[in-house]
Amino acid sequence: MTFEIETPRVLVVDTETPDTKRLVAFLEENGYKVLWARDGEAAYNIIDSEPINVLISELRLQRIDGMRLLSIARARNPEVCVIAVTKDADVGLATEAMRQGAYDFQVKPVNLEKIKAVIERGISHQQLVGQITDLHTRLDSRYGFENLIGISRGMNDIFEKIRQIAPTRATVLISGETGTGKELIALAIHQNSPRRDERFVKLNCAALSEGVLESELFGHEKGAFTGAISMRRGRFEVADCGTLFIDEVSEITPPVQVKLLRMLQEREFERVGGSDTIKVDVRLVVATNQRLEPLVRKKKFREDLYYRLKVVTIEVPPLRERKEDIPLLVNAFISEFNQLHGKKVKGITRGAMDLFMQHYWPGNVRELRNCIEGMVVFCTRERLLDVADLPAHLRASKKRRQFFRIPVGISMEEVEKIAMEETLKSVGYDKQKAAEILGIGLRTLYRKMKEYDIWSG
Ligand SMILES: Nc1ncnc2c1ncn2[C@@H]1O[C@H](COP(=O)(O)OP(=O)(O)OP(=O)(O)O)[C@@H](O)[C@H]1O
Ligand SMILES: [Mg+2]
């Protein structure tokens, strides 16, 4: 890719004199597109309506003076190359112009060759800055925030949202299937926020009993319960001034939800077994791979907390709904694992990529990443990954896919129940395998089986 500025545009601002005409002709001969304004106001109108690379201006102008033009031009294009010109040497004016960012100052009659050299230097500087800015925006939009990769519409919307909400202290609710990148997004929010130099503290609420969870979040005083042999600060205190990321927030039980809500509203709490009120400044980001509305309906999740959390929501689409991201992710993971395992995999064949594009990816990006890691590890030569390298279930995914019918008019929960039952049936009730295919944790599978009353084989 080249970053050339097409034809550099030079705006000359001076009254019509033989000298000015000579300057305009000289610039045109040298391949520049020259715009000529006879007074400050005409120049102002040009600067306001089209991009200018170079401004050569007499400083003592009618109506709007040259110094003003200089600052307007720089406001429009901070890299603009300004050459200030005056009839007689005026040290004060010259110093002021240079101080305001002019590249050069000349006393008439101007030295054409010197002007040319200054313009060339200015233009090449602009190209460099252009390249860097372009690179930054490309990095931002494609490789996004830190390690968050994506070019799909869905990911771009997420990048845009992160850009908007990162600088604020708003609580963010990230929802999406397992492995879609919720934790990476939470981290990106932190790293793009003014709190980036402070702590990013995590807590996963799954698998924690109510008591443990409360004390993990809010800490406890010595003797608060059997085994509390000393005071312990909770994650909220540890994350003071930084960001706290609470994963699987749906697992928090209603009594602890009350405490969390108070924390969000008043920014204060007490440690378990303590009476001192502790105030902290924490930005909260929470994630869930379950929809919270049904839990609210079943009174398992407090409605007031739900509304408090859902003000700013990021919904991460599953990978199967943003297939454009797959090639980019595949290549990024291949280079990552080449480095990690000292391999030299050169890429992937069309055929293998096609199967990747067709797969359902129940485990989303995590599943894709694990899949690539396995393939890279087993690849012994310097070559492309091919269909034969794919895990069996992916190779067969097209041919042997079984189908089942889902009637119209049923809830998502019923759909989920049917999917679990059918998957379990298809793998001979091997829970581990079923959980893998469904892309959920074994614990989650067991929990849901109990909840939906699914036969366990
Ligand atoms: N857009 C992405 N670009 C690069 N890597 C990604 C992306 N999304 C996810 N990953 C990778 O996939 C894996 C899973 O991501 P992450 O842990 O953020 O998912 P999650 O949504 O929090 O999953 P869970 O719901 O199971 O906790 C991680 O290794 C992460 O680095
Ligand atoms: Mg996670």
SS3 call for 344:
coil
Over residues 174-202, mean pLDDT: 93
**In terms of domains, do 304 and 324 share one?**
no
Structure tokens at 352: 């293998």
- Does the pLDDT at position 25 exceed 60? yes
**In terms of domains, do 344 and 419 share one?**
no
**In terms of domains, do 269 and 344 share one?**
no
- Residue 142 counted as domain residue: no
- Does the pLDDT at position 135 exceed 60? no
- Residue 72 counted as domain residue: yes
Structure tokens at 430: 């091997």
- Does the pLDDT at position 302 exceed 70? yes
- Does the pLDDT at position 136 exceed 70? no
Over residues 118-135, mean pLDDT: 78
DSSP, residue by residue, 55-110? EEEESS-SSS-HHHHHHHHHHH-TT-EEEEEESS--HHHHHHHHHTT-SEEEESSP
Calpha distance 277→300 (Å, rounded): 27
- Residue 2 counted as domain residue: no
- Does the pLDDT at position 15 exceed 70? yes
**In terms of domains, do 26 and 95 share one?**
yes
The CATH number of the domain holding residue 180 is: 3.40.50.300
Decide the pairing of beta strands 81-86 and 54-58: parallel
**In terms of domains, do 72 and 47 share one?**
yes
- Residue 438 counted as domain residue: yes
- pLDDT tier at 347, thresholds 50, 70, 90: very high
- Does the pLDDT at position 2 exceed 90? no
Listed in order, strand segments (DSSP E) in 266-390 are 268-270, 277-279, 283-288, 312-316, 347-348, 384-385
Query: Which residues make up the environment of ion ligand 2, defined by Cβ < 5 Å?
Result: 183, 247
DSSP, residue by residue, 381-435? SSSEE-GGGS-HHHHSTTTS-------TT--HHHHHHHHHHHHHHHTTT-HHHHH
Question: What is the pTM assigned to this prediction?
Answer: 0.62
**Which of 147, 152, 175, 180 for a ligand 1 pocket mutation test, highest count of atoms within 8 Å of Cβ?**
180
Which tens digit of pLDDT belongs to each residue from 363-388? 999 999 999 999 999 998 999 999 99
**In terms of domains, do 336 and 417 share one?**
no
**In terms of domains, do 127 and 260 share one?**
no
Q: What is the pLDDT of residue 361?
A: 92
Q: What is the pLDDT of residue 97?
A: 86
Within 6 A (CB) of ligand 1 lie: 147-150, 176, 178-184, 247, 289, 329, 365-366, 369
The CATH number of the domain holding residue 346 is: 1.10.8.60
Structure tokens at 13: 């601002």
Gap from CA of 196 to ligand 2 centroid (Å): 20
Sequence-ordered list of residues with C-beta below 8 angstroms from that of 447, at least 6 positions apart, any chain: none
Instruction: Please give the share of the chain, as a percent, with pLDDT higher than 90.
Output: 61
Q: What is the pLDDT of residue 397?
A: 54
Calpha distance 297→418 (Å, rounded): 21
Question: Which region, left, alpha or beta, applies to residue 206 given φ > 0 means left and ψ of -120 to 50 means alpha?
Answer: beta
Q: What is the pLDDT of residue 101?
A: 84
The number of domains in the chain is 4
**In terms of domains, do 279 and 424 share one?**
no
Between residues 141 and 31, which one has the greater pLDDT? Answer: 31
Mean pLDDT of the chain: 89
